[in-house]
Amino acid sequence: MGLKIPYIKTLAFIACLIPGTSALAQTVTFKKKKATLMDVLVAIEQQTGYGKFTDRAAREYAHPVDMDIDGEPIDTVLARFCRNQPLIWSIHKRIIYVRYDHSVPIPVEPSGITITGRIVNERNEPVPGATVTISNSNRVIATNDDGEFILENVTPNTRLVITSVNYESKEVRLEGDPVVNIQMKPRMSQLAEISVVSTGYQDLVKERSPGSYAKIDNALFNRRVSNNVLDRLDGVTPGMIFNKNIVPGLNQSSMTVRGRSTIFSNAEPLIVVDNFPYPGDVNNINPNDIENVTVLKDANAAAIWGAFAGNGVIVINTKKGRFRQEPQLTINSNITIGGKPDAYYLPVLDASNYIFVEQYLFEQGFYATKETGRVPVALSPAVELFIKQRDGIIDDAMLNASLDSLRAIDIRREKEKYFYRNSMNQQYAINTSGGGANHHYYLSVGLDRNLHDLVGNHSQRLTLNANNTYSWFNNRLTLHTGFGFSESNYTINNEGGLPVNYPYLTLGDNAPAYIELRQSFKEQVKNAGLLDWSYRPMEEIALADKTQKVTDSRVNVNLDFKIIQGFSARILYQYNKGQLEAENFHSPKTYFTRDLINRFTQVDSAGKFSYPIPKDKGILDKRNESYSAHNVRLQLNYLHEWKDKHKITHSISAMAGAEVRDICATLENKRLYGYNKETLTSIKIDTTIKFPQYHDRSQLLPIQAPSYNEEAFDRYVSFFMTARYTLDQRYTFSASVRKDESNLFGVEANKKGVPLYSLGFGWELSKEKFYGLTWLPHVKLRITHGYNGNVNKSVSAYITAALSNQSNAYGAPVGAIINPPNPDLRWEKIQTTNFALEFATFKNIIAANVEYYRKNGKDLIGNTPIDPTTGNLQYWGNVAKMEGSGLDITITSYNLNRKLKWQSILLFNYAKDKVTSYGTKHPTITPYYHPEQLNPIPGNPLYSLYSLKFVGLDPQTGNPIGMLDGHNSQEYTLIINSSNFDDLVFSGPANPVLFGNFRNTFTWKQLTFSLNISWKAGYYFRRSSIDYSALFRDESIGHPDFALRWKNPGDEAHTNIPSLIYPENPARSFFFKYSEELVERGDHIRLQDIQFLYDFNLKRSKKLPIKSLSIYMYANNLGILWKANDKGIDPDHIFDIPNPKSIALGLKVQF
Amino acid sequence: MQNLSKAIIILIIILYCTISCNKKEFLEKIPSSKILIPKTLDDFQALLDNHAILGETPVLGELSADNYYLIQSFWQGLKNHERDVYIWQNNIFQSDEHIGDWEMPYQQVFYANVVLDNLPPATNEQDEAIRWNHIKGAALFIRAYAFYNLAQLFCPIFDNTILPFENEFGIPLPLEPDITATLKREEVTNTYNRIIADLSDAIRLLPDTLPMEHRNRPSKPAAFALMARIYLSTRFYDKALLYADSSLNLYSSLINYNDISTSRPIPFTRLNEETLYQSNMLSTTNVLKGLVVPNCIADSNLYRSYDTNDLRKYIFFGGTPNLPTLKGSYNGTIFLFSGLATDELYLIKAECLARTGNYLEGMVVLNSLLEKRWRTGTFVPLSAMDETAALNLILQERRKELPYRGLRWSDLRRLNREGFEITLQRKLDNIYTLPPNDRRYVLPVPHTVLKLNGSISQYPRN
């Protein structure tokens, strides 16, 4: 049926093109009983050459007429046929037009039935707002938010036409069935699809909310292959950046939504899983169980989360079954192979140069104090050789031969060979879902097995998910139960590092690494009867037995009840429980155990050994962390729509409720000595006795047996309310209020909680009558304004003390004041204003969403130095203010829409923050450029890179020259501690200000290919270089820049690397380390990943029980295309090795 | 259906009410088992037992004094202010941001103020009331001790002859745990008045007996001892005598040094018999420590002044006779003892007796101390012809008994007032001297403090 209209149109069109076939009679002769309109028109056409054009209604409703015409004009024939019929006819330019007269009501056919239906998309998600038209009538109805519709009094075998902006129209013939489920196919050219976004409280039609949401639907979510949920948002979510190069202690968040708006409070976005904040590790969630993710970005979208929403909210919804869904079984499996980490990426001083430095230091007598000291501290193999040569134990030739063999060793080659390997991740996921009229279910099992790229490390995760929904009383009462469980087992036998810094360590031959105590001492005491004291790195990895078991469960019970028309109530409950059990068993063979036993070995006057730490037995370190959370929410919803005929003129939807959360976390640490893994027995140790250490008799130490318990409680009570009002489907007003209260420690003012509100307004300009731009059929403006908050539990209005786990030297418990009283303490508030413009050109060829926002952080908690005379060095309080602004631009374009389809999506983000006020300045510049301290300077971004002015090298000495009070200076101690802020250089923001992605998707037949390019720009980082201070003190493996150092006058023309001097000046090294010379631009473009997806067309082979089958390939971390620095540094990996390239192959089958 | 509706609505109302009604109690849960608002006497005792903070005293005075010298190369590698204070530079706080000599005592004052401010009203219950007294007394003692230690460095010497100009440069005296308060220099007179007042209150509250297992806790003997030290340094010798005597009346044990190992690097324990109150000089210093600083050498004149039979020569000093270094002290660790001990009281008593016309009795007191310091059977009691000779002998023994105890700087200040004309000298590349009564005997306020508190004035050191 669907083909008929274009067919007729085409005919009419062809008829118009042939006006020259003229010499035909203008009269018609026609005779037929019960002739239809088409019979008549075809006859006229044949006899006169006149074209014909009719609408569908005319054909449908024209009654057949007995015709008997003999040579009469066309108009007579038409008049005859159309008499007493709801038809209008006309002739214009040799075309006959017959139309249905809409002024005549369509006769309602009696004895109709009532049908209920549900429209879903290809992923079984409801399609709200779709138009359902009964064919041949003007009866139209729109689906509700659940994609459902009810039609009363319908002919049993009538046809329904379903249309929706983003889906291809579909026509369905009713086969007398009162229940229909219709699945729609998305149009290739879809704009921001009509999507339902979830706030964790409500599902909203995105188009009807003025807030700023970013939705990652299932297809996009599954584009990337990974075992982590959040990874999959990287590079596809507008306004969101995943932070790299995280330094502990700087309160950097792993990800940032729309820039930074706090300093010391929680900086991570809130993660909501199935309606409630998720207190566990997100790694416990299997991405295969995730249906979609919504990121709430602005105040209006996130306001419903109040004081938790300051950093944005990520709402994760797990998969569920649907009512009246055929049972289906999906199997997804893939394998990811990753490359070996690049052992050559991080800078290392090569063995020759390293030995050169050691020889130089040896000649200067640098090692004399170590050699003759009371404690026999370790010296490197090369230094031991120099000593032997000096003492005449070996001759020069022997020394040189031994040094040469050391020079031939490269720790990087060793690591590549023995330490790293290819990683391999296997993922298996099976789920089944389905549903009847009153019940639906979802059940899944997932297994992930990961072999890590560090030899010795592997992990495994098992996940189970089950949910069931039951309904009674005609869907008025719905009960949903959900259960999720995961168990992850990690084996971490390789910590990733090596305990020595000399670059000529071999790993393969199990030679000892010279650590902690002198090797000669170790060998000597072994002969004296102590345990072998040597450390062999690869052997330690083989002996290690360090595991972590993480279990996590989640139980949901939701009760939904439709009270009366428009009103519904929900009671939601979620219980979470998680546990981490970490065990590190040091067997008697491990260095850890041997070392500790040796250190405590006692020798009596007769030379007999005794062992305060049990010999031949292991040591077990145990850590248990657990949490449990109860969440209860009561929620009342109200929805009312005012309809004018079949159109909704205005609607109001409101929600109010209250919520209680109670989270309890515990931590337990302990160490057991003399542990036997088989019998699980241990030996009690007296930790009060102090023993002289074997290697240092003057040092008296007790045996450490830490035992530690801690409990933490987080409690919240929140009240919330939100309402939306839509007028004429053009104007939307939205408002929400929330008040959060918590058990913040004894804060009288805060205890009353913080009320936060937001307002929003949306205007669909293109729906206005005056709007006339046909090439731009969709234009919408949105403005929102409001407040979010942030929680900081580290401060209190009252004086707060902590009891230490350790008693003082006299055995009494010790208390420390951790928080001076601060009666003015307030909650942090973040004011956000968002302006959005969205538009789409004709046929959605180009669609764009442009959002500009401003953020204003008020009352932010900061620490500011205060007069030490008060007894406190710093004050923690609401001393800081921040401002931020940014742009999120998403442009989607359909460049080709033929057999080969080509879609481009450009994400362009700009996010800049600025600290506008921040307590008192520190007296010196040191805390500002120091990389491990967070000390903002008003006017600059929170994370800024500061450095020291660098003039060049002294032509005489190769000393670096800095600036002090505006003059060239080599007074390094004064330079690095200057109190003149003009000596401090603001090098730029330390985090990308501009970032984004460019994703291109090509579809040809069943093959989809997509490629994602990402970039970051507008930021700076500090690279490493030779740090003589660290090199001499054996704290660093050195840097190849050493070879570029200043050696002779004149070198300063082509190098800025300072000369090697002795004695070393720590302040000189420190100055160079933080000088602007080592600052690099971070800008870069990277080919993030590519994906191939092939969907087998199984329609032709209906015999197979398979509904769909697809195979996919995904390659990740493909490399940098361009970068601003020429030092070979990946700006996302300044101090670690970049993630190796990986390739995944997978298969997904649906039965 | 109707009933179900009602049931559910009622359920919601009940749940809602439950949330609202129990909210206050629910939200009062302390967020962590680690933290608390100090309320009970146990809590306050735990704060006062934080010995890592309350047991530290300034070191800059001893660093400025003449009991030691440094090897040039070692001196060069020191923290800026320690290097500068060694040669009595005018501006010793050029670049080091944190100066523990100022910060630590004021942190102790803050702890004391927190206790004094939050201590619940006294109860009538016998045991509790006694404990309450002890805690309040301890807090007052700690405040007085901290203020006194600060005054020795940052105030001009206070005595009967203080000039109005000098009197302006007392120290700030925070008496409440208020971090927003603007603190000014008080008069020196007020500073000492406050110290004496706090200590007098403490004496009324503290226990009569020494807490033998908790020598970090103040007691009446310790408070009397501190009072004696204060009056001695301010040259009110009659009062110093009175308080030294009061303390010795309550506790007067001396260690017989013949029972002490001369070979052990740390010869004494923290619970040794003489200690009345334990504290040590800043553990953050790189200079004055037992054992670990081989380049910090005892003053040659001082070292040579010990008789070969004087055990102190072997117990106080290690290293070699040419380069004698410091050993662990009454603190029982490598950190140097700066607390209160009975030996100091014997010396105060002896000196004050000599100064108040009782020099013979003073010599008796001195000899009773020295007897315990010499090898058994070798000690011949000292005698003096007149008051001056007795005083000189007592002062000489004072220096030999109490080196590196943080007392020498105060002694130099007061003795130079009395015309002892002790000029200090340092030899490095150059020779540096500190003449008697020089203005550099008052240390400058750290520049961090000046920058963050505009109302503190700097004493003109030149």
Q: Give the Cα separation of A422 and A517 in Å (integer).
A: 35
Please answer yes or no on whether A717 and B45 come within 8 Å at the CB atom.
no
pLDDT of A21 > 60? The answer is no
For residue A705, which of A691, A692, A693, A688 has the smallest C-alpha distance?
A688
What is the β-pairing status of strands A95-100 and A51-54? parallel
pLDDT of A190 > 70? The answer is no
The alpha carbon of residue A419 and the mean position of all alpha carbons in its chain are separated, in whole angstroms, by 30
Q: Give the Cα separation of A449 and A442 in Å (integer).
A: 23
Percent above pLDDT 90 for chain A: 55
Instruction: State pTM to two decimals.
Output: 0.80
**pLDDT for res B34:** 79
**pLDDT for res A857:** 92
**pLDDT for res B156:** 94
Query: Taking the CA of residue A669 as centre, how many other CA atoms within 13 Å lie in the half-sphere pointing to its CB?
Result: 8
Q: Give the Cα separation of A587 and A619 in Å (integer).
A: 7
Model confidence pLDDT, tens digit, residues A354-387: 999 999 999 998 998 888 877 899 999 999 999 9
DSSP E strand stretches across B56-194: 56-57, 68-70
- What integer is the mean pLDDT of B110-138? 90
Q: Give the Cα separation of A534 and A512 in Å (integer).
A: 6
Instruction: Tell me which residue in B20, B49, B448 faces A812 most closely, judged by beta carbons.
Output: B49
Distances (CA, A) of B378 to A519, A931, B371: 50, 62, 9
- What integer is the mean pLDDT of A573-582? 95
- What integer is the mean pLDDT of B283-308? 86
- What integer is the mean pLDDT of A500-513? 90
pLDDT of A19 > 50? The answer is no
**pLDDT for res B2:** 61
pLDDT of A194 > 90? The answer is no
Range with the lowest mean pLDDT among A546-555, A816-825, B253-262? A816-825
This complex has an ipTM of 0.92
pLDDT of A421 > 70? The answer is yes
A814 vs B contacts (CB less than 8 Å): 46, 49-52
Model confidence pLDDT, tens digit, residues A968-1003: 999 998 899 888 999 999 999 999 999 999 999 999
Residue from B35, B39, B216 to probe the interface with A (highest A Cβ count within 10 Å): B35
Model confidence pLDDT, tens digit, residues A740-765: 888 875 555 445 677 889 999 999 99
Give me A35's structure tokens: 């002739």
Q: 3-class DSSP state for residue A538?
A: helix
Residue carrying the six token digits 């370190």? A621
Model confidence pLDDT, tens digit, residues A772-811: 888 888 899 999 999 998 878 777 777 888 888 778 888 8
Work out the minimum CA distance from B179 to partner chain A, whole angstroms. 5
- B203/A120: higher pLDDT: B203
- What integer is the mean pLDDT of B69-92? 88
Alpha-carbon dihedral sign for residues A925, A931, A936, A941: positive
- What integer is the mean pLDDT of B15-34? 73
**pLDDT for res A745:** 57
pLDDT of A705 > 90? The answer is no
Q: Give the Cα separation of B185 and B191 in Å (integer).
A: 9
φ and ψ of B98, to 5 deg: -110, 120
pLDDT of A120 > 60? The answer is yes
**pLDDT for res B18:** 67
Range with the lowest mean pLDDT among A24-28, A468-472, B417-421? A24-28
Residue A865, amino acid: P
- B286/A190: higher pLDDT: B286
Q: Which residues of A418-453 are buried (b: 16+ CB within 10 A; e: fewer)?
A: bbbbebbbebebbbbbbbeeeebbbbbbbebbbbbb
Give the H/E segment covering residue B231: helix B220-233
Work out the minimum CA distance from A1026 to partner chain B, whole angstroms. 22
Model confidence pLDDT, tens digit, residues A202-250: 888 877 788 899 999 888 999 999 989 999 999 899 999 999 999 888 8
What is the β-pairing status of strands A994-1004 and A1007-1017? antiparallel
pLDDT of A183 > 50? The answer is yes
Model confidence pLDDT, tens digit, residues A1004-1058: 988 999 999 999 999 999 999 999 999 998 888 999 999 999 999 999 999 999 9
B109 vs A contacts (CB less than 8 Å): 871
- What integer is the mean pLDDT of A945-974? 93
Please answer yes or no on whether A802 and B52 come within 8 Å at the CB atom.
no
A751 vs B contacts (CB less than 8 Å): 27
Residue B227, amino acid: M
**pLDDT for res A1068:** 94
**Contacts of residue A173, Cβ cutoff 8 Å, sequence gap at least 6:** A157, A158, A159
Task: Bin A939: left if φ > 0, else alpha if -120 < ψ < 50, else beta.
Answer: left
Range with the lowest mean pLDDT among A862-876, B273-287, B430-444? A862-876
Q: Which residues of A1033-1072 are buried (b: 16+ CB within 10 A; e: fewer)?
A: ebebbbbebbeebbeeeebbeebbbbbbeeebbbbbbbbb
Work out the minimum CA distance from B70 to partner chain A, whole angstroms. 18
Percent above pLDDT 70 for chain A: 94
Work out the minimum CA distance from B452 to partner chain A, whole angstroms. 5
- Using pLDDT thresholds of 50, 70 and 90, give the confidence band for residue B17: low
B39 touches chain A (CB under 8 A): no
Give me A131's structure tokens: 């138009």
pLDDT of A4 > 50? The answer is no
Ordered by where they begin, the domains of chain B are 2-257+338-452 (1.25.40.390)
Percent above pLDDT 90 for chain B: 70
Range with the lowest mean pLDDT among A188-202, A902-916, B24-38, B104-118? A188-202
Distances (CA, A) of A181 to A174, A282, A442: 11, 35, 19
* Nearest residue in A to B178, CA atom: A870
| Strand partners for A546 | A584
For residue A910, which of A1020, A994, A997 has the smallest C-alpha distance?
A994
**pLDDT for res A59:** 77
Residue from A567, A696, A867 to probe the interface with B (highest B Cβ count within 10 Å): A867
pLDDT of A191 > 70? The answer is no
**pLDDT for res B380:** 93
Range with the lowest mean pLDDT among A906-910, A1096-1100, B190-194? A1096-1100
Distances (CA, A) of A206 to A210, A843, A878, B364: 8, 20, 36, 97
Range with the lowest mean pLDDT among A43-47, A496-500, B210-214? A43-47
Please answer yes or no on whether A869 and B111 come within 8 Å at the CB atom.
no
For residue A205, which of A768, A836, A734, A767 has the smallest C-alpha distance?
A734
For residue B175, which of B121, B122, B231, B106 has the smallest C-alpha distance?
B106
- Using pLDDT thresholds of 50, 70 and 90, give the confidence band for residue A111: low
Model confidence pLDDT, tens digit, residues A863-892: 888 899 999 988 888 889 999 999 999 999
Work out the minimum CA distance from B448 to partner chain A, whole angstroms. 6
B289 touches chain A (CB under 8 A): no
Residue B397 CB: number of other CB atoms within 10 A?
23
Average per-residue pLDDT for chain A: 87
Instruction: Tell me which residue in B46, B107, B451 faces A814 most closely, judged by beta carbons.
Output: B46
For residue A294, which of A319, A315, A268, A320 has the smallest C-alpha distance?
A315
Residue carrying the six token digits 């004081």? A307
Please answer yes or no on whether B8 and A808 come within 8 Å at the CB atom.
no
For residue A1119, which of A1130, A1109, A1127 has the smallest C-alpha distance?
A1130
For residue B391, which of B421, B424, B365 has the smallest C-alpha distance?
B365
Residue from A693, A870, A872, A974 to probe the interface with B (highest B Cβ count within 10 Å): A870
